[in-house]
Amino acid sequence: MKKLVHLQFLFLVKIFATQFLTPSSSSFAASNPSIAPVYTSMTTFSPGIQMGSGEEHRLDAHKKLLIGLMISSSSLGIVILICFGFWMYCRKKAPKPIKIPVDSLNLVILSFLIVSYVFQVLFMIICFFYNDLYKMFSNEDAESGTSSFSMFMRRLSSIKTQRTSSNQGYVQRFDSKTLEKATGGFKDSNVIGQGGFGCVYKASLDSNTKAAVKKIENVSQEAKREFQNEVELLSKIQHSNIISLLGSASEINSSFVVYELMEKGSLDDQLHGPSCGSALTWHMRMKIALDTARGLEYLHEHCRPPVIHRDLKSSNILLDSSFNAKISDFGLAVSVGVHGSNNIKLSGTLGYVAPEYLLDGKLTDKSDVYAFGVVLLELLLGRRPVEKLSPSQCQSLVTWAMPQLTDRSKLPNIVDPVIKDTMDLKHLYQVAAMAVLCVQPEPSYRPLITDVLHSLVPLVPVELGGTLRLTR
């Protein structure tokens, strides 16, 4: 009997060592990298943003689950042994020993052993599926504070809907006929945006869900690549200043990306549309800049591998009903390290493309910082990044503004008339200096987006999100 118990203990130890003390092959799968958010001890966020509490806390959860498995299995074995020992003790101390047939005694012992082995097998199953269980309960929803039970129920319910999950995250697959009906047959009256490969339509998926549907005509391989790239990246990214992906659909001639609907449209519409920025106060503009910086910081600093958007511009910054800003359109985005940063086809929008990328094809996170600086100038001056002077001549906003941004006597005169004289001049000078640094021709002179973010925070009222918070 002692030998059997000893063998059982050794067997459990071996299973534990094999499963938990050996490196998991998935941990070193360099051939199939994926974006996984990684958090620092300090994160910044706007109202409504829910971030994770740090990589160290993920490890704590990992350890807690591991310790729980060890304690539960050990406790079970101890309880079984105590029960068996107590039964043997009572049998020996009884005043009139009950004669039990040998066959019955063997049956009792066999029953204890069977129960013990059954629980060992269950423990083995939990061990082998440990990583999957852990991922299920601590994946993306851990970032948004969703409970493990809610996460489990969502995963369970997702089995009932058609989803795809290869290198991507979980993406709901829509039927093209459903999207056609939701957009009123893709009527022109429902068009809310225009892209390089198609239009964006307002859609009603049901009575409670409004969405934006981007219809991409598969006229080229480039269009197909951008569609696949956007769906793959957005399915892995979850942040309150990044547009949320609701699903996708794909056919031979067309592909569709379904996003959350942003009621106020794009920043480009607000600044350069019919309203000419009249709805955007100074503080509102600073909030939009701060939200955009937070979205970029998430891509650059908290994604592994880091993501370079590559096409940041005012038309790709969308605003919800409360003017919270979210970065959209990830068709051109790249993951650092997955693609060679110097072997990427030149893409982007004139006026926002950094000079080193335009001239030498060198792409870094500082390329996004340059584009952010141009957006900051748009918010400050109310001008487009490139203005047409004549049919054959254009002028860059950066080239025109740079000499005046550093002249304190001229700067107040070139500010957008809508916000002129509505801000503290010290704040105006600070934002102008920030924009000048962001659009420096030399990438190394540009600040990190994290530094820009920290400079913007004091310029935004607390009620609009101008605060830094520590997460535990």
The yes-or-no verdict on residue 230 having pLDDT over 70 is yes
- Report the length, in residues, of the chain: 472
Is residue 69 over pLDDT 70? no
According to DSSP, the residues that pair with 469 across neighbouring strands are 43
- C-alpha distances (whole Å) from 138 to each of 65, 198, 277 are 11, 37, 42
Q: Which residues are annotated as a binding site for ATP?
A: 215
pLDDT in tens, 248-295: 998 888 999 999 999 999 999 999 999 999 999 999 999 999 999 999
Q: How far apart are CA 128 and CA 133, in angstroms?
A: 10
In whole angstroms, give the CA distance from residue 52 to residue 139. Answer: 10
What integer pLDDT is reported at residue 246 of this predicted model?
94
Mark out the alpha helices in 21-54 (DSSP H runs). none
Q: In what order do the strands lie in the sheet with 254-260?
A: 191-194, 198-204, 210-217, 254-260, 245-250
CA distance 283 to 38: 31
359's tokens: 């001239």
Give me the pLDDT at residue 164, please. 43
Q: Which of 37-41, 71-75, 462-466 has the lowest mean pLDDT?
A: 37-41
How do residues 427-467 score in pLDDT, each as one tens digit?
999 999 999 999 999 999 999 999 999 999 999 999 888 87
Q: Which residues contact 421 (CB under 8 A, 6 or more apart)?
A: 412
Residues with a catalytic annotation lie at 311
Name the one residue in this structure whose structure tokens are 């019919």: 274
> Per the annotation, where are the binding residues?
215
Residue 34 has pLDDT above 80, yes or no: no
Q: Return the higher-pLDDT residue of 211 and 44.
A: 211
Position 389 confidence tier, pLDDT thresholds 50, 70, 90:
confident
48-73 burial, b if ≥16 CB within 10 A, otherwise e?
A: ebebbbbeebbeeeeeebbeebeeeb
